[in-house]
Amino acid sequence: MKKEILSMTIEELEEMLVSIGEKKYKAKQIFAWLHKGACFEEMSDLSKKTREKLDELTVLNYPKIEQKLVSAIDGTVKYLFAMYDGQLIESVVMRYKHGNSICISSQAGCRMGCKFCASTLGGRARDLSAGEILSQVITAQKDLGERIDNIVMMGIGEPLDNYDNVIRFLTLVGAKGGLNIGYRHISLSTCGLVDKIDRLAEENYPITLSISLHASSDEERSEIMPINNKWGVDELLMACRRYFDKTGRRISFEYTLIQGKNDSPFHAKKLAKLLLKYFDKAPFHVNLIPVNEVKERGFKQGSEKSIQTFVSILEQNGVNATRRRRLGSDINASCGQLRAGAGSAKN
């Protein structure tokens, strides 16, 4: 079977080259070309013979830009990418003062079943390979002609449900000679797979862990997030605390504000009390996201005043909280919506 070359590390490329009688040093050249989005013919410092061998032994697939939307308000760019088999995924580039951030997908679809989320509507079609996760960054960077500085794994899919490929992706994206993006510029968001959070703490990647919490009791969380039936709020927050103790990295909690469900002053106080119980004086951060109204879901955003009240109650209780700025509101920039609208896969 042919190897998927974008998923290969420099060391693996070296091994492959040596096994076919090629020089080891060429691996670095190939790696650099690949991470710039070049196809084999464009690798001008390799001989034709070497390029032909690569083509015989491996497959190289960059995603095809199926659709590209640019926000007239803030320049956010949303890509709908078609993978080699027609699976559709989304990536979004957001422009901030401190640089470009890309939000990438880790699976085609999702099987976590969160009630407010568009990405899980059709279930999970398949995992993305490490190369496919990486290729979103490569293709967007090439298309924009600008460097991407930060990565958030908050697109379609549950990254920790595709653990090995995500770890391999982290190795590739941080490698010297490739995109070389520092781990402190990478965030990974999870709905709370406790066993994998513990595993991640053992890996040596100083990335930022984001937890999609969205509720502060088991009863309320289980109602909107099925994963909570497997690992409850206490188990999740204990794992977060262990992660912090092990890595020293501040955890970020995502809390989607849904009108009439979790957005009252009572809920704000309960959330502050819960997080302080586990973190006490250890640093953590809460990101508040007014729910994106997904047609199929029926959840609504509360009033502007209710959102501001929620933020101030957290702050009064000593909890560091920010309200997420909504970028790309004119292009439906939140992930999952284009894919769902396009009927999941292209045939």
Name the residues annotated as catalytic: 90, 335
* Out of 27, 191, 201, 314, the residue judged to bind ligand SAH by CB under 6 A: 191
The letter for the amino acid at 323 is: R
Of 43 and 151, CB closest to ligand SAH: 151
* Out of 66, 90, 132, 158, the residue judged to bind ligand SAH by CB under 6 A: 158
Of 52 and 330, CB closest to ligand SAH: 330
Pairing of strands 107-109, 99-103: unpaired
Phi and psi of 126, rounded to 5°? -165, 165
243 counts as binding ligand SAH under rule CB under 6 A: no
Of 14 and 158, CB closest to ligand SAH: 158
Tell me how far the alpha carbon of residue 19 is from its chain's centroid. 35
* Helix/strand/coil for 205: coil
* b (16+ CB within 10 A) / e for 148-179: bebbbbbbbbbbbbbbebbbbbbbbbbbeebb
Of 58 and 189, CB closest to ligand SAH: 189
189 counts as binding ligand SAH under rule CB under 6 A: yes
Please report, as residue ranges, which positions from 127 to 156 form the binding site for ligand SAH (by CB under 6 A).
Answer: 154
Q: How far is CA 301 from CA 11, 73, 116, 290, 304, in A?
A: 49, 21, 12, 6, 9
Indicate the helix (H) or strand (E) that contains 251: strand 251-257
Positive or negative CA dihedral for 225, 231, 236, 242? negative
Minimum CB distance to ligand SAH, residue 73 (Å)? 18
* Out of 87, 141, 208, 212, the residue judged to bind ligand SAH by CB under 6 A: 212
The letter for the amino acid at 85 is: D
Q: What distance in Å separates the CA atoms of residue 59 and residue 107, rounded to the nearest whole number?
A: 20
What track of x and - describes contact with ligand SAH for positions 83 through 122 (by CB under 6 A)? -----------------------------x-x-xx-----
What track of x and - describes contact with ligand SAH for positions 292 through 321 (by CB under 6 A)? x-x---------------------------
Please report, as residue ranges, which positions from 264 to 293 form the binding site for ligand SAH (by CB under 6 A).
Answer: 289, 291-292
Applying CB under 6 A, the residues found at the interface with ligand SAH are 112, 114, 116-117, 154, 158, 189-191, 212, 254, 256, 289, 291-292, 294
